[in-house]
Copies of this chain bind each other. A is one copy, B any other.
């Protein structure tokens, strides 16, 4: 039996993960802006957009934890640029810092990134500028200066989760902690329509090629593995859970047909 913290526990992937962990005999400390009693042993309200409240929420955790899944996140919605960057990345980073004292040796921190963050190689400098921000007025100026709309804010927040996971790994290694990020493709949850609106063709084509969107439980099973000691030698990397979208696109782009069996 282990005890795991899960953010965004009231719906979607977070709810599926909490249910799976409970089914396997573990305890769950759940965080969300919306209260829930489903699949949690302790529920703590958390608004990642409210910086001063983050440390207070973390302080309410009862007992040591064996892992943390930073799963909460906002979809790409017009006008929410600052909230997206705050909730999906900057707030998660602050929350993680506040949670570190609860994590026992060997714990994993599993960060929910996205396939939408897989173009990080093209945006390293912008991700670093975002990562250097520490206050909310800086964030407003950053969005203005870099002309960031809601789709770019979402992609950027997920690119940042992937690179943050890499960046933090050496420091966490020294404390016997580790981080992994997960990058789902389109997943059938309450916010799938937001992604369809924001990404349009780009998502529709990818989903058609993989046959269907992913399911929350398919992502949750990988998250449970990433949290468990079975993945203890995996550190600082991103795992795609996308039904092959990344491979299909890479194979096209790189022209890999010569490698195939037949």
Answer yes or no: A152 CB below 8 A from chain B CBs. no
Known: A170-B251, A250-B166, A255-B128. A232 touches B218 (CB 8 A): yes
Answer yes or no: A26 CB below 8 A from chain B CBs. no
Within the complex, the shortest CB–CB distance from A244 to chain B, in Å, comes to: 4
Query: In the complex the two chains form, is A221's CB within 8 Å of B231's CB?
Result: yes
Query: In the complex the two chains form, is A167's CB within 8 Å of B259's CB?
Result: yes
Chain A: residues with CB nearer than 8 A to chain B? 93, 96-97, 100, 124, 127-129, 131-132, 160, 163-171, 173, 178, 209-211, 214-215, 218-219, 221-222, 224-225, 230-237, 239-244, 246-248, 250-251, 254-262
Query: In the complex the two chains form, is B254's CB within 8 Å of A244's CB?
Result: no
- A247–B180 Cα distance when bound, in Å, is 10
Known: A169-B247, A259-B167, A261-B93. A230 touches B235 (CB 8 A): no
Query: In the complex the two chains form, is A234's CB within 8 Å of B230's CB?
Result: no
Which of A96, A233, A261 counts the most chain B CB atoms within 10 A? A233
Query: In the complex the two chains form, is A254's CB within 8 Å of B163's CB?
Result: yes
Within the complex, the shortest CB–CB distance from A118 to chain B, in Å, comes to: 11
For this chain, the copies found in one complex come to 2
Q: For residue A240, which residue of chain B has the nearest CB? A: B237
Query: Which of chain B's residues have a CB closer than 8 A to the CB of A221?
Result: 230-231
Within the complex, the shortest CB–CB distance from A89 to chain B, in Å, comes to: 9
Q: For residue A176, which residue of chain B has the nearest CB? A: B211
- A251–B96 Cα distance when bound, in Å, is 19
- A219–B262 Cα distance when bound, in Å, is 30
- A255–B166 Cα distance when bound, in Å, is 11
- A171–B163 Cα distance when bound, in Å, is 31
Which of A209, A214, A231, A261 counts the most chain B CB atoms within 10 A? A261
Within the complex, the shortest CB–CB distance from A94 to chain B, in Å, comes to: 8
- A219–B33 Cα distance when bound, in Å, is 38
Query: Which of chain B's residues have a CB closer than 8 A to the CB of A129?
Result: 258
Query: In the complex the two chains form, is A165's CB within 8 Å of B247's CB?
Result: yes
- A240–B173 Cα distance when bound, in Å, is 16
Query: Which of chain B's residues have a CB closer than 8 A to the CB of A234?
Result: 222, 239-242
- A173–B244 Cα distance when bound, in Å, is 8
Query: In the complex the two chains form, is B257's CB within 8 Å of A236's CB?
Result: no
Query: In the complex the two chains form, is A96's CB within 8 Å of B259's CB?
Result: no
Known: A93-B261, A173-B211. A166 touches B247 (CB 8 A): yes
Query: Which of chain B's residues have a CB closer than 8 A to the CB of A257?
Result: 167
Query: Which of chain B's residues have a CB closer than 8 A to the CB of A241?
Result: 233-234
Query: In the complex the two chains form, is B254's CB within 8 Å of A131's CB?
Result: no
